[in-house]
Amino acid sequence: MTIRNLVLVGFMGTGKSTIGKRLAERLGWAFIDTDALIEQQQSMTISEMFRVHGEAFFRSVESRTIDEVLAGEGQVLATGGGAVLAEANRSSMLRNGYVVALKASAEVIIKRVAEDQGRPLLQGDLKERVNTLMKQRKHAYDFAHLIIDTSALDVDPIVELILEETRRKG
């Protein structure tokens, strides 16, 4: 199997962007953050999009963006935490790339996202929001080819682990 793209999925704050950037550097591939791409294409932040057009609008733009990006190859994608909720997105990811799910404990996630106000689904009581969404999405990331818990690991060992697995597959 030749890997066309590397797709990182996982709950908010699991390290998709940080690890994705480093992976892309190591592979000499392009790094694409689908949230950032959507914000650029829509000329507004994700928070504004949720507020002005609603979550359903964001989800449809998100699906279209994932499809468009995955038509290419040699890319590391960091996807939004909810991108895996649509079956069409999951199958597109599995078909067009090697999917890596990053996991972390609720405590670690809460610490990592606490300073960032840019996540509309985490507004209000942060602890409650993270716990509720994590419960709802308990198995949402299980479809990935590889699952890694990032709670206790530094970026470099995670990147090495993923590279090792992709070499084995590629």
- Spatial neighbors of 89 by CB under 8 A, at least 6 apart, are 62, 63, 66, 79, 83
**Cβ–Cβ < 8 Å for 122, 12:** yes
Residue 121 touching ligand S3P (CB under 6 A)? yes
**Cβ–Cβ < 8 Å for 6, 75:** yes
**Cβ–Cβ < 8 Å for 36, 59:** no
Residue 8 touching ligand S3P (CB under 6 A)? no
For residue 103, list its beta bridge partners.
149
Out of 22, 29, 35, 101, name the contact with ligand S3P by CB under 6 A.
Answer: 35
Residue 12 touching ligand S3P (CB under 6 A)? yes
Residue 161 touching ligand S3P (CB under 6 A)? no
CB nearer ligand S3P, residue 86 or residue 121? 121
Residue 7 touching ligand S3P (CB under 6 A)? no
- 84, with CB counted inside 10 A (0-12, 13-18, 19+), is buried
Say which residue the tokens 């996807």 belong to.
Answer: 79
CB of 65 to ligand S3P, least distance (A): 11
CB nearer ligand S3P, residue 46 or residue 148? 46
Residue 80 touching ligand S3P (CB under 6 A)? yes
Distances (CA, A) of 66 to 80, 89, 134: 10, 7, 22
Tokens of 24: 């892309």
CB of 166 to ligand S3P, least distance (A): 22
CB nearer ligand S3P, residue 85 or residue 163? 85
Residue 94 touching ligand S3P (CB under 6 A)? no
Out of 15, 20, 81, 97, name the contact with ligand S3P by CB under 6 A.
Answer: 81
Q: Site residues for ligand S3P, window 125-154 (CB under 6 A)?
A: none
